[in-house]
């Protein structure tokens, strides 16, 4: 095997050629062209508006229905049930497994009064949601099958309000 000795000049020339070749093979990303200014003005960011509710339709029945109403969470989920009695009392069952109320624990009891289509909670056992003056009131509507509520003014207890105004409408139990 023969070993050739290279001079410093030939090594330097070879490195220079290698460097030039490798630099020319690099691709340089094009410089982005700035977009021309537009004359379209963006609208100002909207300020938050108070939520609006669709008014409830007029009730089919002028009498408040004293019966049992429920809604179900999902296809096989638990039930929430209101039982309204003729004497102005109610029971509320929360997240129960069956509509057979005889074996279910009552979550809340209370009293109510009706004045036209105005439902007012007058007393309750709901922990953390006592009835302050003025008592919370809701308009109600009943179409023969579905009972719906909508708060009048404010109910300071958001849990109670979300229970009455549930998007899962209360259906009459047969």
Answer yes or no: is 12 within a domain: no
The secondary structure of residue 60, as a DSSP letter, is: S
For residue 18, what is the enclosing H or E element?
helix 8-24
What region does 46 belong to: left with phi over 0, alpha with psi -120 to 50, or beta? beta
Q: How many domains does the chain have?
A: 1
For residue 77, the model assigns a pLDDT of 86
The secondary structure of residue 117, as a DSSP letter, is: T
Torsional sign, CA 42, 44, 48, 53: negative
Q: Which domain holds residue 133?
A: 68-172
- When pLDDT is cut at 50, 70 and 90, the band that residue 17 belongs to is very low
CA angle 15, 19, 23 (to 5 degrees): 175
Which pLDDT tens digit goes with each residue over 83-111? 999 999 999 999 999 999 999 999 999 99
Tell me if 120 sits within 8 A of 133, measured CB to CB: no
This prediction's pTM: 0.64
- We report the CATH number of the domain holding residue 117 as 2.40.128
């Amino acid at each position: 095997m023969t070993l050739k000795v290279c001079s410093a000049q030939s090594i330097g020339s070879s490195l220079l050629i290698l460097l030039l070749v490798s630099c020319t093979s690099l691709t340089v990303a094009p410089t982005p062209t700035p977009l021309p200014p537009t004359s379209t003005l963006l609208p100002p960011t909207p300020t938050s508006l108070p939520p609006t509710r669709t008014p409830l339709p007029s009730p089919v029945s002028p009498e408040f229905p004293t019966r049992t109403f429920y809604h179900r969470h999902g296809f096989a989920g638990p039930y929430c049930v209101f039982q309204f009695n003729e004497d102005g009392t109610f029971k509320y069952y929360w997240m129960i497994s069956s509509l057979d109320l005889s074996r279910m624990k009552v979550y809340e009891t209370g009293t109510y009064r009706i004045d036209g289509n105005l439902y007012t909670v007058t007393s309750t056992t709901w922990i953390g949601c006592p009835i302050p003056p003025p008592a919370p009131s809701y308009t109600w509507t009943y179409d023969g099958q579905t009972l719906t509520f909508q708060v009048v003014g404010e109910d300071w207890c958001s849990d109670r309000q979300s229970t009455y105004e549930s998007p899962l409408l209360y259906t009459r139990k047969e």
